[in-house]
């Protein structure tokens, strides 16, 4: 038995040509609800976010993500987008009967039928966690457990095992027909869902979380 739903998410964050990751703030928030049984996307969440610590985007960031200054200047800050996301998840809980995993309830045998998934652990364990701390938001338990799709990808593509394997390269290896442009959070969330279904169809089980804190 596997999770009935996966919430595939991706964030884009402020960045610079030099390594200054500790100052990164989320500037685009993308998530989709994937029905694992049907392989269909049933809902999506997408917002741009106005950074507050370093509000001016670097040229490097603009060129990498395609997110311009005007696209974030008029947007709410992270704390507001976080509340929107909570509202979206509550709506899904009410309409789809979602039950989330947590660090204490890691397997579907315990009752949950959904969890988050991302490519690597950066999105939830670093970007999201840091922005919550920066905005004095106490992370709910449901955000502390997820599946790292990169780990499951390596179960099938053993020859390409690399803890730093790029998402774009994995999509190419799996011959995924991508949508949107690279480094677009909502496009990457959709492409992650496609990759997850590709792995599921190859026999990979999405039945337990791989990471939590």
Annotated catalytic residues are 12, 183
Instruction: Return the C-alpha torsion angle 45, 48, 54, 57, nearest 10.
Output: 130
Whole-angstrom distance, CA of residue 59 vs CA of residue 71 = 14
Q: Is the dihedral of CA 37, 38, 43, 49 positive or negative?
A: positive
Full DSSP string of 98-160: --B-BTTB-BGGGS--EEEEESSSHIIIIIIHHHHHHTT-PPPGGGGEEEEHHHHHHHH-GGG
CA angle in degrees (0–180, nearest 5) for 5-98-168 = 35
Whole-angstrom distance, CA of residue 206 vs CA of residue 186 = 22
Distances (CA, A) of 196 to 73, 85, 139: 34, 22, 26
**Whether 53 contacts 26, CB under 8 Å:** no
**Whether 28 contacts 12, CB under 8 Å:** yes
Bridge-based pairing of strands 26-35 and 40-48 is antiparallel
């Amino acid at each position: 038995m596997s999770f009935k739903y996966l919430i595939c998410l991706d964030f884009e964050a402020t960045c610079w040509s030099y390594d200054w990751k500790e100052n990164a703030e989320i500037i685009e928030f993308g998530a989709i609800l994937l029905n694992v049984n049907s392989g269909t996307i049933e809902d999506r969440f997408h917002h741009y976010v106005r950074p507050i610590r370093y509000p001016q985007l670097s040229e490097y960031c603009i060129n990498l993500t395609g997110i311009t200054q005007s696209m974030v200047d008029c947007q709410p800050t992270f704390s507001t987008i976080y509340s929107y996301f909570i509202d979206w998840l509550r709506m899904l809980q009410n309409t789809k009967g979602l039950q989330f995993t947590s660090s204490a309830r890691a397997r579907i045998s315990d009752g949950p039928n959904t969890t988050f998934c991302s490519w690597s652990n950066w999105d939830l364990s670093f970007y999201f966690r840091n922005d919550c701390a920066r905005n004095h938001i106490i992370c709910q338990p449901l955000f502390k457990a997820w599946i790292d799709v990169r780990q499951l990808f390596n179960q099938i593509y053993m020859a390409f095992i690399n803890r730093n394997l790029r998402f774009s390269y994995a999509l190419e290896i799996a011959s995924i027909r991508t949508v949107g442009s690279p480094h677009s959070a909502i496009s990457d969330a959709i492409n992650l869902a496609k990759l997850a279904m590709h792995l599921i169809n190859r026999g990979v089980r999405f039945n337990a979380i791989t990471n939590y804190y």
